[in-house]
Amino acid sequence: MPENITAPEKKKRIFSAIQPSGTITIGNYFGALRNWVKLQDDYECIFAVADLHAITVRQDPKAFKKNILEAYALFLACGIDTEKSIFFIQSHVHTHAELAWILNCYTQFGELSRMTQFKDKSAKHADNVNAGLFTYPSLMAADILLYQADLVPIGADQKQHLELARNIAERFNGIYGKTFTVPDGYIPEVGARIKSLQDPSKKMSKSDENANAWVAVLDKPETIMKKFKRAVTDSDAKVCVGEGKDGINNLIAIMSSATGKTADQITAEFEGKGYGDFKTAVGEAVVEEFRPIREKFDQLIQDKAYLEEQYRKSAEIALKISQRTFDKVMKKIGYLPR
């Protein structure tokens, strides 16, 4: 290579996996998923539908199968592009479960027992506190370390799990020599933290018992409009950001996320208008933002052959990459080659 030409800088690798819950709220989308889609241009991205993680909670087989396929189709509809990224279904790449067992043996019982998510989920599912729920972070570590990921997009609730993955990698590297890349957390561009439409002091969550509290990306336009019209506000009747105006602050954040307008622009636009007009406008903006995603999803979910082609293609690539790491691990430990 001539001296005056430098090699292109190698893109850093990002890994992220998302559980197939069956529903993505507009909070999930604006807060995280939309930003992950943007990462594809600047990073080498590996994404997965984390269906192995999902069975720590008992699943209905028929609904589970449907949810996995729908999650895959929905993420594609949202903009994950298999020409730019690897996007596979976790259970289709057997190295995840295999490395998870190995890493269980390099993870301390005390480390797992300190995980706050284990405590929270044990309390929530007291009738099914299984070993998988306890060792879940070792599987998460395997997901990340298999791909020698440089970065992992994380929210506040995942920091502890990433720290454990780093500890496991450093422990293994310390015993056997450099084997795993020690990943760093990647805090994506902060999306709006969307709150419940019925209790704006809480995060929007699909587990909320009040169905009017949250809006799903795939909700029908009439359902979205109905939920926004029922959104909790205050008695001030002035559209502006302010203290004690949690409901309106939340609606402004949603409007801003859907349209790209600033809070000041939104305030000026609705000067002298009532909350009824504003709630209708927010609902309409959200309907329009998600219309192309709903249309794309409806098209994809009808084309099972295309979806299968995409997830199989990505799984083959993911297996090749992850197998290299797994074989190195097995050799370092001293296993006989197959």
DSSP string computed for 150-194: SEEE--GGGHHHHHHHHHHHHHHHHHHSS-S---EEE-PSPPP-P
DSSP letter (8 states) at residue 195: B
Output the CA angle 139-141-142, nearest 5 degrees.
65
pLDDT tens digit string along 158-185?
A: 788 899 999 999 999 999 999 999 999 9
Domain with CATH 3.40.50.620 in the chain: 13-191+304-333
* Vertex 22: Cα angle to 16 and 24 (nearest 5): 65
Q: What class has domain 13-191+304-333?
A: alpha beta
Query: Residue 257 contacts by C-beta under 8 Å, 6 or more apart in sequence?
Result: 26, 30, 191, 192, 194, 289
Query: Over the stretch 123-132, which tens digit does the pLDDT of each residue have?
Result: 677 777 878 8
How do residues 207-217 score in pLDDT, each as one tens digit?
888 999 999 99
The model carries a pTM of: 0.88
CATH code of domain 211-299: 1.10.240.10
Look up 121 and say whether it is catalytic.
yes
d(CA 99, CA 95): 6
Q: Which of 12, 66, 84, 203 is catalytic?
A: 203
Does residue 337 contact residue 192 with C-beta atoms inside 8 Å? no
Q: Which residues contact residue 183 at a Cβ distance below 8 angstroms, ignoring those fewer than 6 apart?
A: 15, 144, 145, 149, 150, 151, 152, 162, 165, 166, 169
The residue with greater pLDDT, 2 or 83, is: 83
Of 12, 206, 238, 328, the active-site residue reads: 206
Of the two residues 338 and 77, the one the predictor is more confident about is: 77
12 flagged as catalytic: no
Measure the CA–CA gap between 230 and 213, rounded to whole angstroms: 9
Question: How many residues can be counted in the chain?
Answer: 338
Two tokens, residue 99: 């490395």
Is pLDDT above 80 for 282?
A: yes
121, 195, 227, 279: the active-site residue:
121
Q: DSSP strand E in the chain: where?
A: 13-18, 44-49, 86-89, 151-153, 184-186
- Rounded to whole angstroms, the Cα distance separating 161 from 275 reads 42
Would residue 178 show up in a list of annotated catalytic residues for this protein? Answer: no
